[in-house]
A and B are shown apart, each in its own frame.
Chain A
Amino acid sequence: MKYKKSLVFSLITVLLFSLFLTGCGEKEVNQTDGPTAQKETQKTEKEDKKETVEVDIFQFKVEVAKALEEAAKVYEEEKGNVKINIQTVGGGDDYGAALRAKFQSRQEPDIFNVGGPQDVEDWMDTLEDLSDQPWVDLALPGMLSGATVDGKVYALPFNVEGYGFIYNKRIFKDAGIDVSQIKDFASLEKAVQELDGKIKAGDLKDKYPLLEAVFEMPAKERWVTGLHASNAALSQEFDSSIAAYEAKEIDFKYADAYKAIIDLQANYSANSETKDRLVAVDYATQVDEGLAIERVAMIQQGNWIYGGVYDIDPEVADNLDILPMPIQGGKEDCIPVGVPMHWSINTKSTPEKKEAAKDFLNWLYTSETGKDFVVNQFFFIPPFEGYEDLQPKDSLGKAVKRYSEEGKTTPWVFMGYPTAWGEDVLGVEIQKYLAEKVTWEELVEEVKTKWTESR
């Protein structure tokens, strides 16, 4: 009994001590790294005497968190009376839920992220009108469509991303396939068959011991099949996400071409004989454990995979390029390029905070220092003019930029799909289709019906 009492007592003392230390931490650590923090403390304390405006950013992309914080630091030094607090939602997926929770907590951020037209509509009451901002005129054509309602711009496009069939240049070269000859679905199919033949015959065994199939298809990731792949077909039917957003029903004119894309990937994957197993294949298996270790030669993905692949094998990463996902009967040489996320400003924040927030975002995307961060540290492709001398450093960024400059792009209409339709209806139906639980005709019927119902 006595022993227990003193144990508890000493525990509490230790903790009160650490409480004291942690309490001091309030001012101490505001960054991810340690040493620079000390200097910051003294500075910000002095600044507190002046009129410091605090801007709270609540953003979702872990990959740029550190770089963003550094950019904020640089900005703070330049301006002198602004303090930027950045909170990043880790874990990858849950931003929508976390953002709602943040607003519920009554600690509303000044800058946050919204996606496409649905998000913009949902959050409309909190979005500041940004139509008068300098960057609006600098935006490349079509880039502001996802965040424009009734002619007013409500958010700043984060970056531009593109996807298609990313392939390993070296493997194709060593298999003797001339990629420049691939111009449409027919030639793509032919090349795939050729490569498949060579793999099965063992011709590439020496150089690529792990290579077992042409494709890997992550049917578990319903956004890949249900959102991205379908976009290739539906972007032939709608010319913007807004058009899709307003459509009460779909024709699905290019459903067969879409089927061709799905079948191509499934039939030439390692699970071609057991397609139902594709349902358990996830992103990591396709990218990290597929393309990056050269177990497969081609995958349907976008320029965002660069960082992950680079972490595994820099050489493979630097030798990647993108082929189009050809839709027979439509455009066969384009890749879907679009804006996945936007920055928006909370219209309910105080005028000073809103000013500071607008200024920061403007600085980030239009000043020389800011632009350098955006391209070279965030690895973004910015949807604005003024970046002519800042080319993307990574192989996939370059590829996307190339397609953009040649005008060979289709828009990301999937951002206008009915809520959850892409993943929970189409993605699920694709899984059933691969497991042979439904026929393609049934799939098309079902998804069309559900689209109309959701509107």
Chain B
Amino acid sequence: MWKKKIKKIVLFIFSILLAVLFLSPLYIVFTNSFKTQKGIFMNVLSLPFGPFFTLENYKEAFIQLNFIHSFKNSLFITIFSTVFIIIFASMAAWMLVRTKTLYSQFIFFLFAASMLIPFQSVMLPLINVMGWLKMLHPVGLIFIYVGFGSSLSIILYHGFIKGIPKALEEAAIIDGCNTFQVFWKIIFPLLKPTTVTVSILNTMWIWNDFLLPQLVINKPQWHTIPLRMFYFFGQYSKKWNLALAGLVIAMIPIVIFYLSAQKHIIKGVTDGSIKS
């Protein structure tokens, strides 16, 4: 018993140290968001208390980011993109796993290979095509995110689905379910851990993405948070004090989302279903 307890404590301390290490850059972000521009450059490592302490950055950043409006925009694009990715990627991945033909393998290969494409090389032709299709607006952007997010999400679902016993599906078919029902009633619930993973990874990337919104929806009424953040970075003058405060504000929704999403990964899902 003793040994176990010590082990636990050591592990705990180790984790805390690791956490501190990981957090140090964030510490820099956070503490400097409370300093004036001068304070930041005088001493980046110091705690903010002292002559350079200010809460103005947050106020100013909130206003300049037009936060409520850009938050709505970011939210709209992120959630819709993620939801569509989850729905369509999971469906596609399942069908690709269960269909063992050459073209299904080829399609999967295609999705995987596309992860290697550096964005810069497709950037201009992509904008050309989207302009031609007159899709340079928020919904068009969602379409683009689904297109780009498909690769990773399908790979993730693909890997996980391989671990689901076919027996379950076969049982459902015997019970009279059609393909659609088999997927939504049996498979999709089992994909929960992967769905949470997929939603976290995609949400994160889309929420913070700057390049695509800049190319597709760079009109003030559509501005997302990252787009507005870049107004802090001019040709020569970079307002770090505002940028850091803005970053903290922008991070809060995502952190909340991540922490609450984490709770939904339930252990031993397959375990339960096999037993029944």
Which A residues have a C-beta under 8 Å from some C-beta of B? Answer: 1, 4, 8, 11-12, 15, 18-19, 21-22, 25-34, 60-63, 65, 85, 87-93, 97-98, 100-101, 104-107, 210, 283-284, 288-289, 292-293, 304-305, 307-308, 311-313
Contact = CB atoms under 8 A, between A and B. Distances in A.
Given A90-B227, A106-B131, A292-B41, A32 B236 contact: no
Given A18-B75, A292-B41, A91 B124 contact: no
Interface in B12-46: 36-38, 41-42
Contacts, number: 131
Nearest to A30: B220
B53 interface: no
Contacts of B130: 105
A66 B270 CA distance: 57
5 contacts: A26-B221, A32-B220, A60-B235, A88-B231, A312-B36
B69 A89 contact: no
Interface stretch (B76-84, B88-96, B160-168): B76-84
Given A1-B185, A61-B235, A62-B230, 7 more contacts: A18-B72, A62-B235, A89-B214, A89-B218, A92-B238, A107-B136, A284-B238
Query: SS class of chain A's interface: helix, strand, loop or mixed?
Result: helix
Interface of B: 36-38, 41-42, 63-64, 66, 69, 72-73, 75-76, 79-80, 83, 123-125, 127-128, 130-132, 136, 138, 185, 189, 210, 214-215, 218-222, 227, 229-231, 233-239
Contacts of B219: 85, 87
B230 A90 contact: yes
B236 A308 contact: yes
B253 to A, nearest CB: 13
Nearest to B64: A32
A91 to B, nearest CB: 5
A163 to B, nearest CB: 12
B38 A293 contact: yes
A34 B75 contact: no
A304 B235 contact: yes
B69 A25 contact: yes
A28 B237 CA distance: 30
A91 B222 CA distance: 18
Contacts of A88: 231
A12 B83 contact: yes
Given A18-B72, A32-B64, A98-B214, A104 B124 contact: yes
